[in-house]
């Protein structure tokens, strides 16, 4: 295995390298962007303009500009903000359904009953994680609970849910043994319980990418989701299937379909699809690099929005 030996470069050297490879740029403007965004972070956005190595050096397609690269970067940032907005609303809704369902069936602390879960080991990890969060939480409702009740046990489900991370919550949800309970939660969204659990786990990965300013636009996601097979009928035709039935597509398109569907369901006046369409149009994005099918504008989930904005 080779040892990494490339030296650090100055911003001026980075600009010279981009020009040598055929990128058109304004030095003063590009210098500022490289100083505040970074060469390495922007590098992922000039991949579509790279025509491969020539004489041992990568070259950009003729006419490639720094502004084109920056346009993709800005679009990706706006896409992450839009996706984060949807994840937040969906996460809050599903958490609330989990709280309501378990509390109604098993009481305020029923979520701690070991018999409710498939994996005792997983439950032990979940309780250890949330106990740690509880002990160091500065949230006012948690401090009130500790002061008022002096109870060494964890607080009721409607309080503890607010100190869980999305990843922790997805583990609590998926570990529920009772299919009936998970089905009751998923029924609110017209989804099979296995699809909802899979999607919530998938969203932990997407949210982490967004939170760490990762590239979302043309990324292949490592953790895919189970696709709906029989319901809801309104979105199945809009999903993109992989040629291999045992493999799910790894790009962001199907995630956006699911987000659009759930946003329409839990917040009908959200204009989320409208905002997505606007940033795609504004930045003139080649949606194929996000896994969008050629005919996506004619698919049910998008058709009305795209026609309205045509």
Report the sign of the C-alpha dihedral through residues 184, 189, 194, 199, in that order.
negative
- The span from the CA of 162 to the CA of 146, in Å, is 15
Map the chain to HEC letters.
CCCCCCCCCCHHHHHHHHHHCCCECCHHHHHHHHHHCCHHHHHCCCHHHEEEEECCEEEECCCCEHHHHHHHHHHHHHHHHHHHHHHHHHHHHHHHHHHHHHHHHHCCCHHHCHHHECCHHHHHHHHHHHHHHHHHCCCHHHHHHHHHHCCCCCCCHHHHHHHCCHHHHHHHHHCECCHHHHHHHHHCCCCCHHHHHHHHHHHHHHHHHHHCCCCCCCCCCCCCCCCCCCCCCCCHHHCCCCCCCCCCCCCCHHHHHHHHHHHHHHCCCCCHHHHHHHHHHHCCCCHHHHCCCCCHHHCHHHHHHHHHCC
* pLDDT over threshold 80, residue 68: yes
Q: Tens of pLDDT along 110-158?
A: 999 999 999 999 999 999 999 888 888 777 777 777 777 766 678 899 9
- Per-residue pLDDT reduced to its tens digit, 226-258: 999 888 888 999 998 876 666 667 899 999 999
Distant-in-sequence, close-in-space partners of 282: CB < 8 Å, separation ≥ 6: 75
Q: What is the pLDDT of residue 139?
A: 79
Integer Cα distance of 214 and 200 in angstroms: 19
Instruction: Identify the pLDDT of residue 136.
Output: 81
Instruction: Measure the CA–CA gap between 20 and 32, rounded to whole angstroms.
Output: 19
Structure tokens at 61: 């397609």
More confident residue, 77 or 54: 77
pLDDT at position 2 is 78
Measured between alpha carbons, how far is 198 from 195 in angstroms, rounded to an integer? Answer: 5
Buried b (16+ CB within 10 A) or exposed e, 253-284: bbbbbbbbbbbbbbeeeeebbebbbebbeebe
At 48, list the tokens. Answer: 């579509």
Query: Residue 203's closest CA among 302, 92, 120, 109?
Result: 92
Q: Which of 246, 247, 244, 272 lies closest to 258, judged by CA?
A: 272
Residues 6 or more apart in contact with residue 279 via CB below 8 angstroms? 75, 78, 79, 82, 285
Whether 61 has a pLDDT exceeding 70, the answer reads yes
Tokens of 46: 């000039």
| pLDDT the model gives residue 247 | 64
Burial 173-200 (b: 16+ CB within 10 A, else e): bbbbebeebbebbbebbbbbbbbbbbbb
Q: Is the pLDDT of residue 93 over 90?
A: yes
Are 271 and 285 in contact, with CB atoms under 8 Å apart?
no
Q: Does residue 66 or residue 309 have the better pLDDT?
A: 66
């Amino acid at each position: 295995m080779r040892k990494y030996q490339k030296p650090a470069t100055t911003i001026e050297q980075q600009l010279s390298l981009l020009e040598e490879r055929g990128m058109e740029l304004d030095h003063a403007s590009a210098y500022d962007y490289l100083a505040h965004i970074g060469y390495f972070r922007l590098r992922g956005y000039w991949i579509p303009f790279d025509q491969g190595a020539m004489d041992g050096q990568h070259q950009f397609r003729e006419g490639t500009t720094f502004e084109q690269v920056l346009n993709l970067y800005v679009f990706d940032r706006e896409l992450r903000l839009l996706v984060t907005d949807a994840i937040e609303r969906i996460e809050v809704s599903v958490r609330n359904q989990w709280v309501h369902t378990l509390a109604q069936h098993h009481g305020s602390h029923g979520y701690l009953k070991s018999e409710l879960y498939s994996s005792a080991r997983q439950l032990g990890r979940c309780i250890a994680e949330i106990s740690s969060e509880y002990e160091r939480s500065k949230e006012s409702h948690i401090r009130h609970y500790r002061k008022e009740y002096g109870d060494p046990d964890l607080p009721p489900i409607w309080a503890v849910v607010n100190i869980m991370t999305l990843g922790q919550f997805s583990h609590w949800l998926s570990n529920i043994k009772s299919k009936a309970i998970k089905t009751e939660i998923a029924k609110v969204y017209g989804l099979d319980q296995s699809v909802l659990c899979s999607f919530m786990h998938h969203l932990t990965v997407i949210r982490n990418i967004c939170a760490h300013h990762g590239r979302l636009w043309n990324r292949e996601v490592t953790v895919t989701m189970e696709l709906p097979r029989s319901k809801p009928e309104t979105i199945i035709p809009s999903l993109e299937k992989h040629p291999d039935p045992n493999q799910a597509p790894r790009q962001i398109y199907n995630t956006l379909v699911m987000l659009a569907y759930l946003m329409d369901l839990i917040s009908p006046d959200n204009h989320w699809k409208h905002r997505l369409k606007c940033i795609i149009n504004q930045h003139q994005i080649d949606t194929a690099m996000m896994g969008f099918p050629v005919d996506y504008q004619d698919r049910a989930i998008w058709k009305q929005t795209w026609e309205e904005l045509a």
